[in-house]
Amino acid sequence: MAAPTRSFLQVASTEEVASPLRVVQIEGLVVLKIIKHCKEFSPALVTGQLLGLDVGSVLEVTNCFPFPSREEDEEIEADGANYQLEMMRCLREVNVDNNTVGWYQSTLLGSYQTVELIETFMNYQENIRRCVCIIYDPSRSSQGVLSLKALKLSDSFMELYRNHNFTGEKLREKNLSWVDIFEEIPIKVSNSALMSAFMTELEADSPVTQCDYDRLQLSSGPFVERNMEFLIECMDDLSVEQQKFQYYYRNLSRQQVQQQAWLQKRRAENFSRKAAGEEPLPEEDPSNPIFKPIPEPSRLESFLVTNQISNYCNQINGVSGQSFSRLYLMKALHDN
């Protein structure tokens, strides 16, 4: 029996329901391009475009190209935009995937959680249904761990950011905390069969490579020291944000005291007017400055700073644990 035919509207409505993003599949050559670009310009921060396909719950990244160095001059920024369009046109002419699926950027010790990153995400979301940001940290990778992350903004956070409403009441209503801003998507590195065969031919007979020796590097002091410096700066920033809220709550408490005093005075006046047979006055006066609501400061900055503090603590904890393991290994080798 033939399957029932569906109308165009039914097909369109079915395709509009997008499956959630489960994994980011990156070609091995793209990973090497990102690492090469970020390492060459380190410690300067660089960015680039990710190209690929959005297939179901998998976002395939098949190509990338670097952006020119960012400058404050508007003419140079316009040249950078023209450069991106020209690059994508050239890729389209040679039949290479030229669909934008996000961007990549380097970071220093994981300090990427900024308002600028969120604004870039929102700009991409206006034209792309789903996009990711690949974060590569050359300083962290020098400790023997490939620091490569794929991030996206959570849907609940994007809804609040569009409305510019980060008050405590809204955050409690959406049950949103500082850990719910970014979502990390698992990364899967994929190579074609021909590429895998070629890499097998190039593989050395010895199972030990230079990368394996790098993992035994005992020097972790500079990395931990820089993390501690950044952690202290973040603690100072968090203290500044807390002072803003303390100032807000002091003003709010002072305003409530003034409102109560004004209401008591108005009620006493109305009691006298009733005794004299006159009409009572309203107990609320919107024109009075003490009844104007005090704007609550945004909690976005404090959320981002808290995220950064958590990131630095995790990095220090991870490197310290690895360093102890290396020291115990070296001690055992020395004793033998």
pLDDT at 71 over 70: no
Q: Which residue has the higher pLDDT, 243 or 163?
A: 243
pLDDT at 141 over 60: yes
Q: Quick one: tokens of 226? A: 């820089």
Indicate whether 8 belongs to any domain.
no
Judge if 59 and 187 occupy the same domain.
yes
How far is it, in rounded angstroms, from Cα 133 to Cα 120? 10
Indicate whether 309 belongs to any domain.
yes
Judge if 265 and 195 occupy the same domain.
no
* CATH code assigned at 72: 3.40.140.10
Give how far the C-alpha of residue 312 lies from the chain's centroid of Cα atoms, to the nearest Å. 15
pLDDT at 2 over 50: no
Indicate whether 228 belongs to any domain.
no
Domain boundary residue, one of 217, 246, 262: 217
Q: Which residue has the higher pLDDT, 40 or 97?
A: 40
Report the pLDDT value the prediction gives residue 80, as an integer from 0 to 100. Answer: 62
User: Which of 53-62, 154-163, 191-200 has maximum average pLDDT?
Assistant: 53-62
- What is the average pLDDT across 247-270? 86
Q: Quick one: tokens of 78? A: 């316009």
SS (H, E, C) 135-195: EECHHHHCCCCCCEEEEEECHHHHHHHHHCCCCHHHHHHHCCCHHHCEEEECEEEECCHHH
Judge if 247 and 158 occupy the same domain.
no
Judge if 205 and 85 occupy the same domain.
yes
Mean pLDDT of the chain: 78
Judge if 300 and 153 occupy the same domain.
no
Domain boundary residue, one of 157, 190, 217: 217
pLDDT at 207 over 60: no
Domain boundary residue, one of 169, 187, 217: 217
Lowest mean pLDDT among 19-23, 50-54, 87-91, 120-124: 87-91
Based on its alpha-carbon atoms, the radius of gyration of the chain, rounded to whole angstroms, reads 28
Report the pLDDT value the prediction gives residue 280, as an integer from 0 to 100. Answer: 78
Judge if 154 and 271 occupy the same domain.
no
Q: Where are the alpha helices (H) located in 42-154, listed in sequence order? A: 74-93, 115-125, 138-141
Indicate whether 285 belongs to any domain.
yes
Task: Measure Cα distances from 287 to 254, 264, 266, 290 in Å.
Answer: 18, 18, 15, 9
Judge if 135 and 271 occupy the same domain.
no
Judge if 173 and 319 occupy the same domain.
no
Question: For 159-204, how does the pLDDT look when each residue is reduced to its tens digit (9 = 90+)?
Answer: 888 877 777 777 877 778 878 888 889 999 888 777 778 777 777 6
Judge if 167 and 302 occupy the same domain.
no
Lowest mean pLDDT among 9-18, 24-33, 222-231: 9-18
In terms of residue numbers, what domain contains 325? 235-335
User: Which of 84-93, 101-110, 323-332 has maximum average pLDDT?
Assistant: 101-110
Indicate whether 293 belongs to any domain.
yes
Check if the beta carbon of residue 43 is closer than 8 Å to that of residue 106. no
Write out the H or E segment, with its range, that includes residue 55. Answer: strand 47-55
Judge if 206 and 244 occupy the same domain.
no
Q: Name the band, by pLDDT with cuts 50, 70 and 90, for residue 277.
A: confident
Q: Name the band, by pLDDT with cuts 50, 70 and 90, for residue 134.
A: very high
pLDDT at 12 over 70: no
Judge if 208 and 253 occupy the same domain.
no
pLDDT at 248 over 70: yes
Q: Which residue has the higher pLDDT, 35 or 225?
A: 35
Q: Give the number of domains in the chain.
A: 2
pTM: 0.69
pLDDT at 319 over 80: no
Question: For 225-240, how does the pLDDT look when each residue is reduced to its tens digit (9 = 90+)?
Answer: 888 888 888 888 888 8
User: What percentage of the chain has pLDDT greater than the value 90?
Assistant: 3
Indicate whether 227 belongs to any domain.
no
Judge if 176 and 242 occupy the same domain.
no
pLDDT at 1 over 70: no
- What is the average pLDDT across 101-128? 85
